[in-house]
Structure 1
């Protein structure tokens, strides 16, 4: 056993990851006296390690996985132009943290500059302690490497979240922007300007808290001339260098692009306005311009976009606030974030009042640009009214009424991952039912031992659509229930009903029954997909057709007595017996016309 591997295993034992008995069973030699190779030794501890750790150990990099006395590297989270970020375990504090390493440069002078920059970043981060800013915990050096230990924030950055689930409702977007503004107000009060506010630098925790990350571009005012790029660089090099080091072009204020020394708190307000536009539309405000230079010019000269042209549900009264955030001149913007927060809070209050007075959900119109291209048919405009409800004994029982359910509005013409939509609206989902569920952006788990809470949502879908689930069993032997609404009919699939699959109509009649089709196991996830095309409905399990019913219109339209769902337009998922399932994908979207029946 190499010294580094021996030291690594000793660290695992000191940290309590390996028990003394487990550590003592790891030997260098076999009983016959032959030397054991490293793969055999790693097999003894593989159950305690991540795939990343095993990969590093196989490459002889055991020493790279230990940092100081208490940090154990678990996985790589990402990399950027200056460094890499890892997930680590603080073995003394028993909590996960994020560790950012600054990569050394081959050029000695450049490496010294990077270290100086990193030290400034650490000093900047140490001044900040706010609920909406990722906190710094420690910093240090390991050889030529500098590292910063930060709070680990489980969740998704807003860029990835919007690209995955689609644009946010105005209510959800305002909630994000208000939280970021509060963090910026605090930082500005410390004399710290972020200079790179953008969706990918905003992380949303599963409980809805938004935190500002990547303070690597933050500066304590004033910025000195020595920090500017070389003046003799070519235009493209200058843009690239500036885009990487001093901000991101799609979200950069005009004065910051012209001269970073001019950037102040109002520059962050401009970037926050660009971020708001992205949350509402899915693209930055001037993304139509192709080259970096043309986008910089657009930020300086093109009119502020009209939100009403792309989001009919955004009131005209909010345009004035948005235009003030994106004013070309800093003097025409809000003087500070405190002033901005007054208008944002007022807009949020007006939006809450407007939502409260709606009798029904409001459809989000297609963007104007898409209507100009002649897309006139009803596309997928998901209007999700989502809630967790209680079933009593039996197949189905009383639901909460649709009027009680919160509304999530998304964009048209694409599929949406509904778990992330649920997390976005977690604050308005109905308690106490939700308290018994485990709900994150990547999983929904029915309560163990008491699966009485069921998921329900309403959706206006395309003529041909599909519902996709990835599900595994947690407990029990009962079936998974999937309720579908199509062609003014509501019907129910019972999957793994004693090994079979059943299509049940609203009046309780079995329209189709496959006795031996699919078993949902605890060992691996099953991929389920309900497809509706024309009047035909199919249920697929792991790519294999389980049930095909040729004509939905022949299903019984009227629910039987006791089918007291309340809203017969509701989709629903659950289990009518004491069984629990874990759902790691819940996706609803249009069924492509060219797809094969089992296309995913």
Structure 2
């Protein structure tokens, strides 16, 4: 259709598209004449009140009204595009749940190999349930359009981060590769190999979790249904030239998990150095993967420990039998260099695997949790590992290790025990009178300084949101003065410091959403603490974000439905001297859909 010339024509297209929430529209605009007469101004108005997304408005202004709805899913905007299809952010009409829809291109839907790979991705993802692998919810068809309904993962691919900021360094590289290896270990145990591990297929979430994407080239080593694709794949090289294993480059008839380990090694090399192991044309890269050894990291950077360089060299060995034989073995080999900030994520990723029950992996997990996994002499290391293993086995093995780790990282918040159903009930809070799980600071701490050398308003004591930027409605009419929690919740109190604090529920209750972002500031101390409370959901929390990358390196949630704020400690040694900012996130509008915050301070010493 031609582009709309009037607002009425535009609104006709909007209604025809199926994306409009008629109830909300009628509430905001009882009469269409309340809207601007110019179609573009009308579109901008609907975007501003969140009845349309910018993508939807742009498409509608171009005269397009089809393709916005696939079954019960409304397409909000594209997330990315590949050779087989486009991935969109979408929302389920009834559940209001955001998902990622992978839509197979029209011409590909008629291609037997492309369709089988598409369905194979659905089967592979459906068989896997792991925190380091993107989950699939459903596979659907709307007319001739086929699509996958997948978990929506806000974040950036490692490829995107490399393009923005270059090499990531050893610490982040070890963290991300160890998490990916944990996910691959789960896939391996379920009989799957990925066959296309690369930075573009590893997503980093806002809270630092790596998610493996795109199972389109994955193959089941146990399912007879994948035999069809094996026949269709015959004669074609499967993989990406920069990261492909030698056996895939040679189109060997039998490929196993060790091909993924090689690709993971090439990805590790790229994260640390900023470029893949080999350069040149596609043909030259394929040849080098088969015949040329990748440069040793320790020769490129003298600060790289030779032993870590050796680990990467083994991952990139030309012969599969010379590599580590499972992804779990890679985690064990890298554990000595895993940063403390990544330990919890790796332990969580491995704890659900079969390999976690083996003596070797239990020793690795115990070493990670205790913080004593650094290089020792073999004799002392073995003795300590045996003692630690015995100690943790006595109190429940891996479960005890994860519990101990929770105490170590210090994000332990008391829970009120209240649920949505009994939120208004006037009954005692079981936590009243109990001390904080994490002790208060021994010193008063100091506020971060702004560019003018003056303390920033991160404790809100000037009664305004100066030094903060609010988006959305969640933090309107903030900060809060006094303890309003105690007045409306029997046995509860906010625990705020000073006169003012951020109370997500206090002005507008749970419905509004939004973010509150501080100005950037330099980290001048090795520790920080702050108070946090509110709902336990993933869509709520306090993030510390590196200014340079825009990626959250730390995230805290209340841990329970609790108005009482509790103190959280953050180890900032890895970002000392760099600029960061605070982002308070409220992206949930249901009950307990709010977050409380106060008293961000730097400290020279951490909790005892």
Q: TM-score, normalised by structure 1?
A: 0.55
Residues 1:23 and 1:187: Cα distance change in structure 2 (over 3 Å): farther
Residue 62 of structure 1 deviates from its aligned partner by 2.4
Question: Could you say which residue in structure 2 is the equivalent of 1:50?
Answer: 53
Cα separation, 2, equivalents of 1:316 and 1:26: 70
Work out which of the residue numbers 276, 280, 299 in structure 2 matches 1:284.
276
Residues 1:352 and 1:322: Cα distance change in structure 2 (over 3 Å): farther
Residues 1:437 and 1:566: Cα distance change in structure 2 (over 3 Å): closer
Question: Could you say which residue in structure 2 is the equivalent of 1:307?
Answer: 297
Question: Could you say which residue in structure 2 is the equivalent of 1:581?
Answer: none
Partner SS for 1:63: coil
Residues 499-526 of structure 1: CA deviation (Å, up to 9, x unaligned): xxxxxxxxxxxxxxxxxxxxxxxxxxxx
Alignment of 1:29-428 (within 5 A): 42=43, 45-47=46-48, 48=50, 49-69=52-72, 71-105=73-107, 110-221=110-221, 225-228=230-233, 231=235, 242=237, 246-259=238-251, 261-287=253-279, 290-348=280-338, 390-391=446-447, 395-396=454-455
Residue 338 of structure 1 deviates from its aligned partner by 2.6
Cα separation, 1, equivalents of 2:373 and 2:336: 12
Residue 458 of structure 1 deviates from its aligned partner by 5.6
* Contact 2:206–2:551 (8 Å) recurs in 1: no
Residue 209 of structure 1 deviates from its aligned partner by 0.7
Residues 1:67 and 1:301: Cα distance change in structure 2 (over 3 Å): same
Question: Could you say which residue in structure 1 is the equivalent of 2:550?
Answer: 442
The answer as to 2:30 corresponding to 1:13 is: no
Residues 1:315 and 1:443: Cα distance change in structure 2 (over 3 Å): closer
Q: Which has the higher strand share?
A: 1
The answer as to 2:52 corresponding to 1:25 is: no
Cα separation, 2, equivalents of 1:29 and 1:174: 54
| Structure 2: gaps spanning 5 or more residues | 1-7, 339-366, 377-443, 457-516, 534-540, 555-568, 584-601
Residue 179 of structure 1 deviates from its aligned partner by 0.7
Partner SS for 2:180: helix
Alignment of 1:468-547 (within 5 A): none
* Contact 2:14–2:60 (8 Å) recurs in 1: no
Cα separation, 1, equivalents of 2:309 and 2:47: 56
Partner SS for 1:78: strand
Deviates more, 1:293-302 or 1:310-319: 310-319
Residues 73-92 of structure 1: CA deviation (Å, up to 9, x unaligned): 11111111111111112233
Residue 309 of structure 1 deviates from its aligned partner by 1.3
Cα separation, 2, equivalents of 1:77 and 1:340: 31
* Contact 1:77–1:87 (8 Å) recurs in 2: yes
* Contact 1:253–1:299 (8 Å) recurs in 2: yes
Cα separation, 2, equivalents of 1:158 and 1:218: 20
Cα separation, 2, equivalents of 1:392 and 1:215: 45
* Contact 2:121–2:218 (8 Å) recurs in 1: yes
* Contact 1:26–1:41 (8 Å) recurs in 2: no
Cα separation, 1, equivalents of 2:207 and 2:26: 38
Residues 1:211 and 1:429: Cα distance change in structure 2 (over 3 Å): farther
Cα separation, 2, equivalents of 1:260 and 1:27: 67
Partner SS for 2:150: strand
Residue 140 of structure 1 deviates from its aligned partner by 0.9
Q: TM-score, normalised by structure 2?
A: 0.54
Partner SS for 2:216: helix
Partner SS for 2:128: coil
Partner SS for 1:138: strand
Question: Could you say which residue in structure 2 is the equivalent of 1:481?
Answer: none
Residue 299 of structure 1 deviates from its aligned partner by 1.1
* Contact 1:118–1:216 (8 Å) recurs in 2: yes
Residues 1:127 and 1:458: Cα distance change in structure 2 (over 3 Å): closer
* Contact 1:155–1:205 (8 Å) recurs in 2: yes
User: How many residues get paired?
Assistant: 386
Residues 1:458 and 1:336: Cα distance change in structure 2 (over 3 Å): closer
Cα separation, 2, equivalents of 1:189 and 1:434: 39
Residues 1:24 and 1:63: Cα distance change in structure 2 (over 3 Å): farther
Partner SS for 1:262: coil
Residue 432 of structure 1 deviates from its aligned partner by 3.1
- Asked which structure has the greater CA Rg, the reply is 1
* Contact 1:26–1:44 (8 Å) recurs in 2: no
RMSD of Structure 2 on Structure 1 (CA)? 4.6
Residues 1:318 and 1:223: Cα distance change in structure 2 (over 3 Å): farther
